[in-house]
């Protein structure tokens, strides 16, 4: 799969919930996983490869494979993670976002449709928040917690309008 880079419009579109679970979905997730690993990424949201489903792949804390479908963050720490995050759609750009929490409890479904609730910590918590934002069409490059001058610079560099 081809990874879309900013300012591709698909990266700003809110993805639709997944309602059909079956072999076709697994094929897409496997292909996303391969693409993410090849790109040395930790997470990849479906709209980063031109799809429109609320799902992402993530390399877990024990290097396990996570297929996260229809995610929602149900609770989170008050404390910020204060960790740098990168993005396969903005190669070479690493940012620390104040709003990222140091842990989050995530409700999601796996590729069979089974529901799970799991706490992710540290960089994995940041990854979950980053990918969930992708599915809402939100970019870390446009985070309101960044200084206006930084956002202006990022908008110019990655070719989108400053919000
Ligand atoms: Zn990203």
Distance 138 CA to ligand 1 centre (A): 9
> Ligand 1 centre and the CA of 20: distance in Å?
25
* 42 CA → ligand 1 middle, Å: 9
pLDDT surpasses 80 at 137: yes
Quote the CA–CA distance of 41 and 37 in Å, as a whole number. Answer: 6
pLDDT (average), residues 45-65: 97
Coil, strand or helix at 151: helix
Q: CA torsion angle for 135, 141, 143, 145 (degrees, to 10)?
A: 150
β-partners of residue 57 are 44, 67
Look up the pTM and report it: 0.97
Of 111, 115, 131, 153, which residue is the catalytic one?
131
* Residue 24: active-site member: no
Q: Where are the domains of the chain?
A: 9-158
Closest CA to 15 of 94, 86, 64, 68: 68
Check whether 71 has a pLDDT greater than 80.
Answer: yes
DSSP 3-state percent helix, strand, coil across the chain (nearest 5): 30, 25, 40
Residue 125 has pLDDT above 90, yes or no: yes
Q: How confident is the model at residue 70 (pLDDT cuts 50, 70, 90)?
A: very high
**Which CATH superfamily includes the segment(s) 9-158?**
Peptide deformylase (3.90.45.10)
CB 62 within 8 A of CB 54: no
């Amino acid at each position: 799969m081809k990874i879309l880079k900013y300012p591709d419009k698909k990266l700003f579109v809110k993805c639709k919930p997944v309602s059909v679970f079956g072999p076709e979905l697994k094929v897409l997730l496997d292909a996303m996983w391969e693409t993410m690993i090849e790109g040395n990424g930790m997470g990849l949201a479906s709209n980063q490869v031109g799809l429109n489903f609320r799902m992402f792949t993530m390399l877990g804390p024990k290097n396990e494979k996570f297929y996260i479908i229809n995610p929602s963050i149900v609770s989170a720490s008050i404390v910020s993670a204060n960790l740098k995050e990168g993005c396969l759609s903005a190669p070479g750009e690493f940012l620390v976002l104040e709003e990222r929490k140091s842990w989050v409890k995530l409700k999601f479904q796996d590729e069979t449709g089974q529901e799970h609730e799991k706490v992710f910590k540290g960089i994995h918590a940041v990854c979950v928040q980053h990918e969930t934002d992708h599915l809402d069409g939100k970019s870390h490059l446009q985070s309101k917690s960044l200084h206006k001058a930084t956002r202006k610079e990022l908008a110019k560099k990655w070719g989108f309008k400053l919000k």
